[in-house]
Amino acid sequence: MLVLGVTGSLAMGKSTVSAMFAELGAAVWNADSAVHALYAGAAAEPIGAAFPGTLRNGTVDRAALGARVTGDAAALAKLEAIVHPLVQAAEIEFRARVAASGRRMIVLDVPLLLETGGERRVDAVVVASAGAEIQRARIAKRGMEPARAAALIARQMSDADKRRRAHFVVDTSGDMATARRQVSDVLRALAGKVGA
């Protein structure tokens, strides 16, 4: 089974690229979605104990938690110590379920794949990338607060470094049809490995 890691900096089109792989038959696991589920499940109680006042009706209030950890390296490390093992367990469970189903390709959609050494868990790394002006415009369109965007970008490796470390780069600066062709090109390049 082929395992691709898809990553990219904030607002570079990572989730869009992952969705294109899904359209072409890949089983996609999204790390952000796994965290969202954990915040409403297994991670809620330990996070609430570590960060009092961050739960609402048994679910982590992401805004309250973000306010507690943004700019505080020790608090962020404490949060990661709670969440990362649970996310890893969710990924392992997903891989096992997909392997049992007979699917031939998994895409791991992980924002900090390269920053956390996640490239060791995949057969190839695909980086979604776009120009800096496009990234800024997409962030503005999302309505994300500049301080939050800056904090997220500060945690991420630069786009140039990600591109250098990638096996494949999908440029999302243009139209989606062009990006979709690039995704198809990646699959063609990896055709011999699918099912291995």
For position 13, what pLDDT does the model report? 95
For position 91, what pLDDT does the model report? 96
194 confidence band (pLDDT: 50, 70, 90) = low
pLDDT at 76 over 70: yes
pLDDT at 165 over 60: yes
For position 90, what pLDDT does the model report? 97
Range scoring the smallest mean pLDDT among 11-15, 56-60, 68-72: 68-72
pLDDT at 152 over 90: no
Average pLDDT over all residues of the chain? 93
* Mean pLDDT confidence for 106-117: 95
Handedness of CA 37, 15, 114, 75 (dihedral sign): negative
C-alpha angle 1-90-87 in degrees, rounded to nearest 5: 115
Q: How far apart are CA 163 and CA 152, in angstroms?
A: 18
The amino acid occupying position 162 is K
For position 100, what pLDDT does the model report? 96
Provide φ and ψ at 6, rounded to 5°: -110, 125
Cα 181 to chain center, whole Å?
22
Contacts of 166 (CB under 8 A, 6+ apart): 125, 126, 127
Higher pLDDT, 71 or 121: 121
pLDDT at 196 over 50: no
Q: How far apart are CA 135 and CA 150, in angstroms?
A: 12
Quote the DSSP letter at residue 128.
Answer: E
pLDDT at 167 over 50: yes
Quote the DSSP letter at residue 157.
Answer: P
Tokens of 15: 């989730």
pLDDT at 9 over 60: yes
pTM of the model: 0.90
* Mean pLDDT confidence for 170-195: 90
Query: DSSP letters along 52-107, please?
Result: TT-EETTEE-HHHHHHHHTT-HHHHHHHHHHHHHHHHHHHHHHHHHHHHHT--EEE
pLDDT at 178 over 70: yes
